[in-house]
């Protein structure tokens, strides 16, 4: 009977160790998963980027060049660069 009780204790101890290890691994997996809110936020940002890209692409190239030149000049003025 002692032999049986010894085996049961050993199995119980091993089972508890495996349960603990499983809980730790489950926590690591859950921590590694992207949160639903983050995924929604990322999706919204991607959608906004695509919308802005479509808007940018719809602006005629000559107007884009004028705007970009104005930004460059404004940036140079802000930095105190004379050219």
74 and 81 in contact (C-beta within 8 Å)? no
- Tell me, what's the pLDDT at 20? 96
Give CA–CA dist 20/27, Å, rounded: 11
Number of residues that make up the chain? 83
- Tell me, what's the pLDDT at 24? 94
Instruction: Give the CB-side neighbour count of residue 44, counting CA atoms within 13 A.
Output: 6
The residue extents of the domains of the chain are 1-33, 35-83
Question: Which has the higher per-residue pLDDT, 50 or 2?
Answer: 50
83 and 76 in contact (C-beta within 8 Å)? yes
Query: pLDDT tens for residues 29-56?
Result: 888 877 777 888 889 999 999 999 999 9
Q: Terminus-to-terminus CA distance in the chain, angstroms?
A: 96
Query: Any idea what the Cα angle at residue 31 is, between residues 13 and 46, rounded to 5°?
Result: 160
């Amino acid at each position: 009977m002692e032999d049986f009780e010894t085996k049961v204790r050993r199995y119980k101890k091993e089972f508890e160790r495996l349960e603990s290890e499983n809980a730790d691994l489950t926590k690591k997996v859950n921590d590694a998963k992207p949160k639903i809110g983050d995924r929604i936020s990322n999706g919204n940002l991607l959608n906004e980027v695509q919308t802005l890209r479509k808007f940018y692409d719809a602006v005629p190239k000559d107007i884009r060049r004028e705007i970009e030149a104005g930004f460059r000049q404004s940036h140079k003025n802000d930095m105190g660069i004379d050219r």
